[in-house]
Homo-oligomer: A and B are copies of this chain.
């Protein structure tokens, strides 16, 4: 492919096929709106493990093995695993992946990691570097809250704009052969920072990055928002979603009719999660379940999936730095 200078998007010559997906969630997600689209719902957030982190590792390993099983392949047939999570030094990912003993590339894009892994997986396949790869990510509510904010047991009151980190993992098998929806295009995002400093306002911190990536995607590809049956962002929640609609309108594009955020699709209103879901698993469990299902039964034929990541750490927050955001996009079509 000849790349125009400055372009952020890739069109795959032989669009890689997502041949199978699997997901697993915690009990709260299991009581939510997408209940019927989860492969496994754990009875509690520990699932008999000693630590939340071990439980998160278990979920990722489970999701990858389940996706491989559905695809009727053995783990040995996976050429490379691309994965990451939210915990310091990708702790959950590393302890999950070491049990699988396959070549591994660790990624960190905060909550955009599922899309980063799909995007790089597609690059490995379309470039001829692999025949099958697994893309996976996970998050765990309690592990993430303790690390980024407060331990859940403290019962600290959450502001209305806060989001709820999803406990779950999603994995996809990408292949050069087989059947399923294909990753036709990808847009690699830039880091965008509008100066938001409140770690409870992640939707607002990530929205400008989502808008930047959407805009670049449409510029690069010549597509208009209406080309897609639906455009999904990963975990902006209700606050970030409204900001995306507004910022896109300021750029002259109206996406109200075919845009939704995965963070607004997981929990019921009465679950009182405030602004919706967040975490790597937000886009991962929605795509590796509901959306994949909609694509397979042709309820949706063309979607643009935009992973959104809030690139702060507790250190950067304590040092009064702002929260940079990033968003990567993949076009998935069947």
- Does residue A287 face the partner (Cβ distance < 8 Å to B)? no
**Is A297's CB within 8 Å of the partner chain B?**
no
* CB-CB under 8 A for A128 and B129, given A87-B313, A190-B101, A316-B95: no
| CB-based contact B104/A84 at 8 Å | no
Residues of B within 8 A of A156 (CB): none
Given A107-B107, A120-B105, A324-B98, A1–B188 Cβ distance below 8 Å?
Answer: no
Q: Output the least CB separation between A195 and chain B (Å).
A: 11
- Interface flag for A142 (CB, 8 Å): no
Cβ–Cβ contact B108 & A315, under 8 A: no
- If A1-B128, A107-B107 touch, whether A76 touches B6 (CB-CB below 8 Å) is yes
Docked CA distance A1–B6 (Å): 28
Contact of A319 with B by CB under 8 A: yes
A221 CB-CB contact with B under 8 Å = no
Residues of B within 8 A of A128 (CB): 1, 3, 13, 127
Confirm or deny: A18 has a beta carbon within 8 angstroms of a beta carbon on chain B.
no
- Name the interface residues of A85-118: CB closer than 8 Å to any CB of B: 87-91, 94-95, 97-98, 101-110, 116
How far is the CB of A7 from the nearest CB of chain B, in Å?
8
Q: Is the CB of B94 within 8 A of A191?
A: yes
Q: Which residues of B contact A189 (CB under 8 A)?
A: 103-104
Instruction: Compute how far the CA of A311 lies from the CA of B107 in the bound complex, rounded to whole angstroms.
Output: 13
**8 A Cβ contacts from A307-322 to B:** 311-316, 319, 321
Given A3-B79, A91-B315: A109 in contact with B105 (beta carbons within 8 A): yes
User: CA separation between A326 and B1, bound complex, in Å?
Assistant: 32
A6 to B74, CA, bound (A): 11
Copies of this polypeptide in the complex: 2
Among candidates B76, B84, B106, B123, residue contacting A5 with C-beta atoms closer than 8 Å: B76
Find chain B residues with CB under 8 A from A326 CB.
Answer: 104, 106
Q: Kindly state whether residue A47 has any CB partner on chain B within 8 Å.
A: no
Contact partner, A116, options B76, B88, B105, B316, Cβ 8 Å: B105
Kindly state the separation between the CA atoms of A242 and B123 in the bound complex, as whole angstroms. Answer: 37
| A200 close to chain B: CB less than 8 A | no
Q: Is A53 an interface residue (CB 8 A)?
A: yes
Question: Which residues 18-55 of A have a CB within 8 angstroms of B?
Answer: 50-51, 53-54
In the assembled complex, which residues on chain B have CB atoms less than 8 Å from the CB atom of A127? 123, 126-129
Judged by a CB distance under 8 angstroms, whether A130 is at the interface is yes
* Complex contacts, A1 vs chain B, CB 8 Å: 128-129
Please determine whether A94 and B311 come into contact, CB atoms closer than 8 angstroms: yes
